[in-house]
Amino acid sequence: MRSRTAFGVGAALLATGLLVYTRHAASSRRAARAATSLAAALAQGAVVLHVPHASGITLDGDTDDPAWTRPPGPAKTNGFLGEDGTPARPYSQARLVWGDDYLYMALYASDEDIESRVDRNDAPVGPDDDAFHVVFSQGETEYSFDVSPNGLITDAIRHGPGAWDSSWNAGVHASREMDGTLNDPKNFDEEWEIELAIPLAALDLRGEPGENVGLSIHRCDTPKRRRRVCSGWGDGEDGRNRGVIVLD
């Protein structure tokens, strides 16, 4: 007759095996869905960035950590394009790596007159404020981040064509580096850069190679004595030139 102890050990081993199998099956299904969504994006003419894995990033705005500077380096967008499809001025660019459960972004903006009245997180961005508008997409869900020159974040989420929910908090960390004086039109400024750490879980990502998520980045700026200029990356319509990032 089998002892109760032996029966208990056998049941525990069986439960452990079932748990491992369930997790493996779920991971396989996620990988299959990721591959399918990437193939569909490529078929529509999406622009794909392969984001390398990195670690040891210090969020200080300087972007001088090895993950940003040493080969092979981060994924990089080209300079943003204007509304007419030509390279925009002032110049903007984004760089990306991932690791330690975060997606790291470095947002660079050339800017001769840095202006922003945003004074707290989740405050609305004014029509004349400098800011990056970053949108990730997973299926019908979109995650939006407005990023000001002083490192303040306004985030929101929406499902399908519904309204944006600004009560959502992604838990983003940000740091800034600014060469210029905020809100002083008498000065000629030069540039600002924001270093972001976005929790992968906030974007419904688990941090597994092959996962992908849609990405578009938009920026508007008003140079001195000139009209407002808007530019972007990955914001093509009907799928074509839409941005997608893939975790490598």
Q: Whole domain around residue 200: which residue ranges?
A: 47-247
Using pLDDT thresholds of 50, 70 and 90, give the confidence band for residue 2. Answer: very low
Are 124 and 237 found together in one domain?
yes
Are 35 and 139 found together in one domain?
no
- 6 vs 153: CA distance, rounded Å: 56
**What are the two backbone dihedrals, phi and then psi, of residue 79, each rounded to the nearest 5 degrees?**
-55, 145
Are 112 and 165 found together in one domain?
yes
Please say whether the beta carbons of 101 and 199 come within 8 A: yes
For residue range 190-244, what is the model confidence (pLDDT) as tens digits? 999 999 999 999 999 999 999 999 999 999 898 887 888 899 999 876 667 899 9
The identity of residue 38, as a single letter, is L
For every residue of the chain, DSSP letters joined together read ---HHHHHHHHHHHHHHHHHHHHHHHHHHHHHHHHHHHHHHHHTT-EEEEEPB------SS---SHHHHSTT--EEPPSPEETTSSBPSS-EEEEEEEETTEEEEEEEEE-SS------STTPPPPTT--EEEEEEEETTEEEEEEE-TTS-EEEEEEETTS--BTT-----EEEEEEES-TT-TTS---EEEEEEEEEGGGGT----TT-EEEEEEEEEE--TTS--EEEEESB-STTTTBEEEEE-
For residue range 140-183, what is the model confidence (pLDDT) as tens digits? 999 999 999 999 999 999 999 989 999 999 999 999 999 999 99
Are 169 and 224 found together in one domain?
yes
Are 98 and 9 found together in one domain?
no
For residue range 40-51, what is the model confidence (pLDDT) as tens digits? 666 667 899 999
Would you say residue 1 has pLDDT above 60?
A: no
Are 70 and 154 found together in one domain?
yes
pTM for the model stands at 0.85
| Bridge-based pairing state of the strands 212-221 and 229-233 | antiparallel
Are 111 and 224 found together in one domain?
yes
Look at residues 24, 43, 62 and tell me which one is the last residue of a structural domain: 43
Domain of 131, CATH number, reads: 2.60.40.1190
For residue range 65-80, what is the model confidence (pLDDT) as tens digits? 999 998 889 999 999 9
Q: Which of 179, 176, 174, 177 is nearest to 191 (CA)?
A: 179
Number of domains, the chain: 2
**Backbone conformation region of residue 31, classed left if phi is above 0, alpha if psi is from -120 to 50, else beta:** alpha
